[in-house]
Structure 1
Amino acid sequence: MTIQRAHDDILKLILAAEGGTEQIDAAIRAVGAERTAAILADELVNRADLHEIPGPGTAGVDIQLALAFEGGTVHHVVRVGKSAEHEAGRVDAPHATLESDLAELLRSVLGPWRGVEAQTLRIVWHDLENVERLGGTMHVFPVVRRLVRGTTGRHEDLGELSLRNGSDKWGLHFYTPHYDRHFGPLRDRPLKILELGIGGYGNPASGGGSLRMWKRYFPRSVVYGVDVFDKAPLREQRIHTVEGDLSSAEFLESLGRDLGPFDIVIDDASHGNADLIAAFKALFPYVRPGGLYAAEDLQTSYWPGYGGSSKELNSPATSMGFLKALLDGLNHEERELPEGTTASETDLTLTGAHFYPSLAIFEKGVNAEGASASWIPRQQMSYEEMSAVDWGEGLTADKD
């Protein structure tokens, strides 16, 4: 199955999970009941963190999924041992069976987290009467509990997800509280997220901690990661990697054109000042209205080795100098622009900017509130001059 097909399938199910029964059933038919069961099993296994449970590595656990759909039953099995895997089919002697309606499970796993939880979910234990077998597989209970937890819409702490998945966004940095403040209101939506920089350098199987963190934090979203090295081994459901040189203007343009628009863009790439500036110029236009653009590791704006400067703090060649200059665009309607110039596209679409240590987050929208009323003086007036003005009835309130 191609990456694009997998992306289309998961997105189709995510969007359908917000709708009614007919819409959900139609999406399952389009994707296929067995494919839908595999997608849901993968999500449940990913959310369960089954590697944290002691025991299954020495005594494996088989959990049978029996999912009803349109008069039939789709069978899928989750196998937990040294690793957690899943596949279509039935197992002869499962330790437990999870029975549910397939459409209802889809809604509870990929639908809005405040939605109704799976009401028909039933757990069948197969070893309660076999004391000897049960005694050797007591960890079946936490395995099942963690799988079921994935249907409850439980929101997880971003800092904890950072540590668990090997991201440096909490600990080496302390970005997660700021991200949670800005990203939190969006985490229940079906988003498209782009992160520049995957980590792990030339090792194809190394890095990707932040991609996995975002996948868990945004349970209804697709996450794209871009790196100069091939990171194909890190691809998994809802995580796609792209190889390319972010210092190339042509490649940056292709990212936006081929993969955008994006709801969130996070620049955690080379941290070179010129690269950060080029990425913002190329990709901010591809952020959706209401979306966010984050630039990390802005401390390099002061480091000459990255093209920064601690002396020329407002130089437009440094990342902070460039980003600070954007702030005047927030008030472009109040400025007297040089003759022959107009507001830039960024001026017209930048609606908010938030700066934190080594991090900046920008809001995208429509910046067209209109200038202040023409009768408001553009020159500061003395109290005597203000007293002489006929402000009109209702306009004599405080003129501080």
Structure 2
Amino acid sequence: MKTYRQIWEAPKPFRSDKWDHYLDLYDRYLLPYRDGRPITYLEIGVQGGGSLCAAREYFGPEAGIFGIDTDPGSRAVEEAGIANRVFTGTQGDFDFLNEVIAEIGTPDIIIDDGSHQQGDMVTTFLGLFPVLADNGLYIVEDTHTVHYPSHQDTTLGINVYDYFKGLTDKMMADFMHQNRHRARFREHPDAREGRLDRRNPIGTAIGGLHFHDSMIVVEKTPYREAWRRNA
């Protein structure tokens, strides 16, 4: 079975560019989804189509491979029969994104390699992470654009790192309930009454939040209250 790097470096009918260290990170995070199930893969920013080519070979013929791009010419990879569908639109248009999800179903993997504008990276995550499959994967590429004056556009007043670094403590929202963890969290979760309030629906759905050079990776995990077990 070829690695992502081997697939990327082999000749392909369509080409795109990636930073070299991404190739090994892809293998690290995408490998668990390469188990024969028909996953749904959505990439924002198709460019020349090379990444959708690689995804098709990596995940196989049963996978649903979809792309989004502002350039109608990117549909060539769909017309060649490699991608199931390439949608033309902007990632900042929530109505458009909702139409995409309605057509492709629940994505297992979402990769944002789109505009790289600060606001787009954050708002697209806010719109798509909630519809990502449980145990799904969300990757934001080229986050080094936080340093580019040309990529500072945002209506939120924050950049991509302001937002994602701010999520780290939201993953532990259960512990905002002072003293309750001393008794409640020692009980088996199935034996507890009621539910905790004030949970951040995005933060508590994050099983892992990873920062790499120019890349942020978010693993989605079904929420389960904290449980402090005794040996």
- Which TM-score tier does this pair reach, normalised by the shorter chain? 0.7 to 0.9
Q: Does residue 218 in structure 1 map to residue 65 in structure 2?
A: no
Structure with bigger RCO (C-alpha 8 Å, 6+ apart): 2
Structure 1 length-normalised TM: 0.47
1:357 equivalenced with 2:207 (yes/no):
no
Aligned counterpart, 2:3: 157
Indicate which of 149, 162, 167 corresponds to 1:326.
Answer: 167
Taking the aligned partners of 2:56 and 2:102, their CA distance within structure 1 comes to: 23
Deviation at 1:248, TM superposition (A): 1.4
2:33 pairs, out of 179, 186, 189, with: 186
Query: In 2 relative to 1, CA 173–336 (structure 1 residues): closer, same or farther, beyond 3 Å?
Result: farther
Is the aligned partner of 1:175 residue 2:22?
Answer: yes
Q: Does 1:255 align with 2:104?
A: no
Deviations 1:23-50 (A, max 9, x none): xxxxxxxxxxxxxxxxxxxxxxxxxxxx
Q: Distance in 1 between matches of 2:97 and 2:157?
A: 20
Q: Using the alignment, how far apart are the partners of 1:214 and 1:234 within structure 2?
A: 12
User: Could you tell me how far 1:317 is from its partner in structure 2?
Assistant: 1.3
Kindly state the Cα deviation for residue 182 of structure 1 after the two structures are TM-superposed.
1.3
Name the CA distance, whole Å, in 1 between partners of 2:7 and 2:98: 31
1:359-374, aligned counterparts within 5 Å? 359-370=215-226
Q: Is the 8 A contact 1:228 1:243 kept in 2?
A: yes
Which structure's CA Rg is the greater one? 1
For 2:90 and 2:208, locate their aligned partners in 1 and report how far apart those are by CA, in whole Å. 29
User: Would you say the 8 A contact 2:172–2:204 is kept in 1?
Assistant: no
Residues in 1 aligned to 2:171 and 2:9: alpha-carbon distance in whole angstroms = 36
Contact 2:52 2:82 in 1 (8 A): no
| C-alpha deviation, 1:255, in angstroms | 2.3
Residue number in structure 1 paired with 2:70: 228
Task: Tell me the equivalent position of 2:194.
Answer: none
User: Helix, strand or coil: the match of 1:290?
Assistant: coil
CA contact (8 A) 2:87 2:100 kept: no
User: How big is the shift at 1:260?
Assistant: 2.7
Q: How far apart are residue 245 of structure 1 and its match?
A: 1.5
Asked whether the 8 Å contact 1:264–1:292 carries over to 2, the reply is yes
Deviations 1:271-325 (A, max 9, x none): 11111111101111111111100000010122232118xxxxxx96101111111
Structure 2 residue 132 is matched with structure 1 residue 290: no
Alignment correspondent of 1:33: none
Partners of 2:7 and 2:17 in 1: how far apart?
11
- What secondary structure sits across from 2:46 in the alignment? coil
How far apart are 1:336 and its partner, in Å?
Answer: 4.8
Alignment of 1:198 with 2:46, yes or no, is: yes
Whole-Å separation in 1 of the counterparts to 2:53 and 2:82: 9
Deviation sequence 1:181-218 (CA, Å, 0-9, x none): 1111211321000000011xxxxxxx100000100111
1:335 partner letter: M
1:275 matched to 2:120? The reply is: yes
**Contact between 2:53 and 2:82, CA under 8 Å: does it hold in 1?**
no
Q: Is the 8 A contact 2:136 2:220 kept in 1?
A: yes
Q: Any unmatched runs of 5+ in structure 1?
A: 1-154, 200-206, 309-314, 374-393, 396-400
For 1:264, which of 89, 93, 109 is the aligned residue?
109
Distance 1:366 1:156 in 2: 31
CA RMSD of aligned residues (A): 2.4
Taking the aligned partners of 2:131 and 2:140, their CA distance within structure 1 comes to: 15
1:333 Cα deviation after fit: 0.7
Unmatched 5+ stretches in structure 2: 179-196
Identity rate, percent: 28
Q: CA deviation at 1:160?
A: 2.4
C-alpha contact 2:118 2:152 (8 A) present in aligned 1: yes
TM-score (norm 2): 0.80
* Aligned with 2:204 (options 337, 340, 348): 348
Query: Is 1:245–2:94 an aligned residue pair?
Result: no
Kept after mapping to 1: 8 A contact 2:171/2:206 = yes
d(CA) in 2 for partners of 1:328, 1:258: 34
Letter matched to residue 244 of structure 1: G
